[in-house]
Amino acid sequence: MTRPLTYGSYLRLPELLDLQSPRTGTHDELLFITIHQASELWIKLMLHELDEARRRIAADDLAPALKMMARVSRIQAQLIQSWEVLATMTPADYQRMRGGLGGSSGFQSDQYRRLEFVMGARDPRMVKVFDVEPELQDALRDELTRPSLYDEALRLLDRNGLPVPPERLERDWSTQLDPSPEVEAVWTQVYADTERWWDLYELAEKLVDLEYHFQIWRFGHLKTVERVIGFKRGTGGTAGVPYLAKVVEQRFFPELLNVRSSL
């Protein structure tokens, strides 16, 4: 006879709770592993939601997409809060376990990189980070062949009769384009007549929500790293805090932020 389904067997808790494997025997390593594993699970869910939101936008099914994007913003709030927990690790705590990390680093998170690609930050050079993991490289390259969430938003504007430049509708999706005054002008039309373009206006604000929370998440990462390791180089070879400071300045939807100045 088969065993009845229980809470633990449905969630596969024995396997899940066996995945935290500290290498150094220090007290705080379990905290470090738990925070990062939980973050990867939240990112997995964000990708699940944004993939479907992108598909819905492409199919002119906007209402469910807006709900999914709102959910992602709530997930981002959970990730932001997680830095508060990790920040309880002191520099002395971290130094006792840092040797066990080797060259591993959050810089090597393929899910995080794919999340950036889905949102619209496209830097094909980032694929090279995964040279020793060709299956991950293939998945990232595949993502670069698809329109991003923002690309699909612009294509939706075009289908609604707004004058999106043709070069933003069909192009090499792997490239990162500079902010476009023409695209900014289109968003200005939406914001200038919200009653007429309410659904598109709401889409714009959901995108801004995603960027807002993403940047706070990045800033929380920066300040946590600064608090715990100061200005040492990161374990993955990055410059550490200076690198993270540059990342905080990167924007996903520049036209949507610029439009606020032109209204």
Binding residue positions? 32-36, 94, 98, 221, 235
Both tokens of residue 128? 């090279």
Tell the burial category of 6 from Cβ atoms under 10 Å away from its Cβ (0-12, 13-18, 19+).
exposed
- Annotated binding-site residue numbers for substrate: 32-36, 94, 98, 235
Give yes or no for a contact between 251 and 184, defined as CB atoms under 8 angstroms apart: no
Tokens 């959970």 sit on residue: 78
Residue linked to tokens 């997995």: 44
Closest CA to 36 of 90, 81, 86: 86
List residues forming the annotated binding site for heme: 221
**Quick count: other Cβ atoms within 10 Å of Cβ 214?**
24
Compute the C-alpha angle 87/228/76, nearest 5°.
40
